[in-house]
Amino acid sequence: MNATTNMQKNQLRGPIEGLIGNSEAMQDVYELTRLAARSSASVLLLGETGTGKELIASALHRLSDRASGPFVRVNCGALTESLLDSELFGHVKGSFTDAIRDRTGRFEAAHGGTIFLDEINSTSSTLQVKLLRVLQEREFERVGDTRTIQVDVRVVAASNCDLSKEVAEGNFREDLFWRLNVLPVYLPPLRRRGRDIELLVRHFLKVYAQSNDRQIDDIEPEALAALLAYSWPGNVRELQNYIERATVLCQGNRLIPDLLPDAVIGDSKAAQTAVFRPTDDQALIREFVYNRLSKAEEEDQDLHKQIVEPVEKELLQQILQNCNQTQTKAATRLGINRNTLYKKMVEYGLAKTKASSETTS
């Protein structure tokens, strides 16, 4: 890969305005988003609730050649089938009891731009047929009308469940799935974005301190450590909620552990147990450990000695074992360079000699 290609790839993986995070997982999202934005193909955003699918959909629109056109959002899971039909395709006066006037649907309103269909998995089989037609033929009829309307619209859909599984179980049309799944983009859960958690915490802290006229300029290390160790089932949306609450309740100029919910902070014993708990989610531990190592302050050294070092050593042992002691592969899985890995191996007595260790890589 030459220098020009490297530069282009780095540009693709750089942060996108309005999105926060520089973890490897988010850089993958940025790259796919920029590549997808250049086309008119349908995009399917996949990820848990609260991972920011609408933000990515908006970024896809802003970065595309349709940016000057409308960006229309529809939450398919918030409406009944009949209401969603009318919402998407519009209706004519008299087509049903409450249709007292003609109404333009969201597809028609999105002409020349982008329509974002959130929770696409919530649509009925009848609506899925209509959506398939729009994607294939770029045309539809309003409810109660016979006149065909042509539209030029880019479709971005999102689902918080595995659509391929829904297809296998007969809950979602396979032909529609393939029409939507031209360019799939997976949004990682927050627990796999550990190094981004502190960035998000400080961003939301600044935002809510300003909006609530508070002078809060920092967060206690213990509070930050608890936030980093938490599993975040509600993802970024949950984090945002907790920081807003803590900001409102804060009486000083630093966010302290007592301002966080019990689910996050617990007592010290519960917090330590949570960190040491056996887990298959090595990414969470990895991100937590290396974020704390790279940003640790002097007052954090107790935490480092008691919690981080044992977890880090155990993690290194497990990853090296899983990679058959191949350091290059282990470093890649951990998201660090090989020299850093070797230094840590020496520190924890996991390395023999540099010469011998290099023969296994």
- What percent of the chain shows pLDDT beyond 90? 54
Specify whether 16 is located in the same domain as 164. Answer: yes
> Is residue 359 included in any domain, yes or no?
no
Q: What is the pLDDT of residues 264-280, one digit of tens each?
A: 986 333 444 433 333 34
Residues 119, 66, 143: CA angle, nearest 5 degrees = 50
Tell me, yes or no, whether 16 and 39 share the same domain.
yes
Q: Give the pairing of strands 139-141 and 148-150.
A: antiparallel
Find where tokens 């020009």 sit. Answer: 4
**Does residue 165 lie in a domain region?**
yes
Residue 218 per-residue DSSP state: E
On whether residue 259 sits in a domain, the answer given is yes
Which pLDDT value is given to residue 255? 93
* pLDDT on residue 95: 65
The torsion of the CA quartet 193, 199, 204, 210, rounded to 10 degrees, works out to -170
Closest CA to 322 of 274, 277, 273, 280: 280
The CB density around residue 41, as the number of other CB atoms within 10 Å, is 11
pLDDT at site 276 = 37
236 & 257 share domain: yes
Residue 9: per-residue pLDDT: 62
Helix (H, G, I), strand (E, B) or coil at 140: strand
Q: The domain spanning residue 59 has which CATH number? A: 3.40.50.300
Distance CA 232, CA 101 (A): 46
Q: How far is CA 249 from the centre of its chain?
A: 28
Q: Is residue 246 in some structural domain?
A: yes
**Angle, helix 268-276 to helix 221-229, in steps of 10 degrees:** 40
Q: Is residue 353 part of a domain?
A: no
On the CB side of 60, CA atoms within 13 Å amount to: 33
Residues 145 and 290 in one domain: no
Eight-class DSSP state of 245: H
Q: Which residues contact 359 (CB under 8 A, 6 or more apart)?
A: none
Same domain? 220 vs 183: no
Q: What is the pTM of this model?
A: 0.70
- Asked which of 143, 161, 188 is the last residue of a domain, the reply is 188
Domain match, 177 and 197 both: no
Alpha-carbon span 149 to 141, nearest angstrom? 6
Q: Which residue has the higher pLDDT, 236 or 329?
A: 236
pLDDT tens digits, one per residue of 76-124 = 998 888 889 888 998 777 666 676 677 888 999 999 999 999 999 999 9
Q: Which tokens go with 177?
A: 């799935």
- Whether residue 37 has pLDDT greater than 50: yes
Distance CA 51, CA 49 (A): 6
Residue 350 inside a domain? The answer is: no
Per the DSSP assignment, residues forming a β-bridge with 158 are: 45
Measured CA to CA, the distance from residue 160 to residue 237 in angstroms comes to 14
Q: Is 309 left (phi over 0), alpha (psi -120 to 50) or beta?
A: alpha
**Do 102 and 172 fall into the same domain?**
yes
Residue 333 lies in a domain: no
Question: How many Cβ atoms are within 10 Å of 49's Cβ, its own excluded?
Answer: 14
Task: Check whether residue 107 and residue 121 sit in a common domain.
Answer: yes
Q: Which CATH number belongs to the domain containing residue 279 in this structure? A: 1.10.8.60
CA distance 195 to 22: 8
Q: What's the CA angle centered on 92, arms 90 and 93, to 5 degrees?
A: 135
Q: Looking at the structure, do residues 122 and 223 belong to the same domain, yes or no?
A: no
The last residue of a domain, from among 188, 220, 254: 188
Q: Is residue 257 part of a domain?
A: yes
If asked whether residues 294 and 154 sit together in one domain, one would say: no
Which residue type, as a one-letter code, is found at position 146?
A: T
- What length does the chain have? 361
pLDDT over threshold 90, residue 245: yes
Dihedral (Cα; 187, 73, 182, 281), 10-degree rounding: 10
Judged against a pLDDT cut of 80, whether residue 218 lies above it is answered with yes
Task: Pick the last residue of a domain from 136, 153, 188.
Answer: 188
Distances (CA, A) of 178 to 41, 169, 316: 12, 16, 40
Give the tokens for residue 68: 């000057």
- On whether both 90 and 207 belong to a single domain, the answer is no
What are the distances in angstroms from CA 194 to CA 27, 101, 288?
14, 51, 5
| Mean pLDDT rounded to a whole number for the chain | 82
Q: Give pLDDT tens digits for 321-353.
A: 777 788 877 777 776 777 778 888 888 888 764
Clarify whether residues 94 and 182 are in a common domain.
yes
Q: Are strands 154-159 and 254-255 parallel, antiparallel or unpaired?
A: unpaired
Higher-scoring residue by pLDDT: 328, 39: 39
90: domain range? Answer: 3-188
Q: pLDDT tens for residues 142-161?
A: 888 788 899 999 999 999 99
Mean pLDDT across 25-34? 94
Least confident of 42-51, 126-135, 333-342: 333-342
Domain total of the chain: 2
Tokens of 190: 């927050």
